[in-house]
């Protein structure tokens, strides 16, 4: 099942996340794109133990946020465990990694999306 890019006005769209085919970005890093709202791209990332985001993730103009649902994500010297919401404003960058493995739901805020 490939969900549509956006949920339409007046529409409710349940999606079984684990049925969305993952795309491997690099070894141990998988992303599943989920339907978003206008201006918001929504996704789930799964990182295997020891995995790191493939490149520096740069947010020049718009922000990004993620919510850790299992495992731990490490940003620099800070560890973010389950239940942690991490928000990045414009003009930020980061490269998450994990020692334990992790799953996070993320949101890219992009008015051009």
- CATH tag, 22-109: 2.60.120.10
Kind of pairing between the strands at 92-94 and 40-47: unpaired
Q: Are 97 and 73 in contact, with CB atoms under 8 Å apart?
A: yes
pLDDT below 50 — which residues of the chain? 1, 113
Q: What's the maximum distance between 2 C-alpha atoms anywhere in the chain? A: 43
Could you give the 3-state DSSP secondary structure of residue 17? helix
pLDDT at 80: 98
How far is it, in rounded angstroms, from Cα 81 to Cα 39?
A: 27
pLDDT at 51: 98
pLDDT at 96: 96
pLDDT at 1: 40
Domain boundaries, the chain: 22-109
pLDDT at 53: 94
Query: Each residue of 17-35: b (16+ CB within 10 Å) or e?
Result: eeebeeeeeeebbbbbbbb
pLDDT at 68: 98
């Amino acid at each position: 099942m490939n969900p549509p890019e956006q949920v339409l006005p007046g529409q409710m769209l349940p999606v079984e996340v684990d049925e969305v085919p993952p795309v491997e970005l690099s070894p141990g890093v998988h992303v599943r794109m989920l339907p978003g709202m206008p201006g918001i791209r929504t996704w789930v990332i799964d990182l295997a133990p020891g995995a790191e985001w493939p490149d520096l993730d740069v947010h020049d103009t718009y922000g990004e946020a993620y919510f850790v649902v299992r495992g731990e994500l490490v940003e620099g010297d800070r560890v973010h465990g389950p239940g942690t919401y991490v928000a990045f404003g414009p003009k930020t960058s980061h490269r998450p990694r994990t020692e334990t493995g992790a799953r996070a739901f993320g949101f890219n805020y992009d008015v051009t999306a």
